[in-house]
Amino acid sequence: MVFIARTKSPEEWKAIASAISTLVDEATFEATAEGISFRGMDPSHIALIDIQWPNFAFERYECDTVVKFGVRIDEFSKLIKRADKKDALEITLGEDQRTLHIRISNGYKREYKMLLIESSASSTPLPKLSFNSKIVLTPGAFDKVLSDVQVVSEYISIDAKSSRVEFSGRGDSGDASIALESGSEGLEELAVQEESKATYSLDYLSKITKAISTAGGSVAVEFSSKMPLRLEFRIANVNRIHFYLAPRVQD
Domains (ranges, CATH) in the chain? Answer: 3-115 (3.10.150.10), 133-245 (3.70.10.10)
Angle between helices 202-213 and 11-21 (to 10 degrees): 170
Q: Three-state DSSP class for 78? A: helix
- pLDDT tops 70 at residue 4: yes
CA distance 168 to 175: 7
CA distance 178 to 24: 31
Q: Which helix (H) or strand (E) holds 146?
A: helix 139-150
**What would the mean pLDDT of 195-201 be, rounded to a whole number?**
96
What contacts 24+ positions apart, CB below 8 Å, involve 81-87?
81/10, 81/14, 82/110, 82/112, 83/10, 84/10, 85/9, 85/10, 85/11, 86/9, 87/9, 87/10
Give the pLDDT confidence of 84-122 residue by residue, as tens digits: 999 999 999 988 889 999 999 988 899 999 999 987 666
Q: Which residues pair with 32 in a beta bridge?
A: 35
- pLDDT tops 70 at residue 44: yes
Q: Three-state DSSP class for 83? A: coil
Residue 251: which pLDDT band, with cuts at 50, 70 and 90? very low
Between β-strands 26-32 and 3-7, what pairing exists: parallel, antiparallel or unpaired? unpaired
Q: Are 68 and 32 in contact (CB under 8 A)?
A: no
Pick from 80, 121, 124, 122: nearest CA to 100: 80
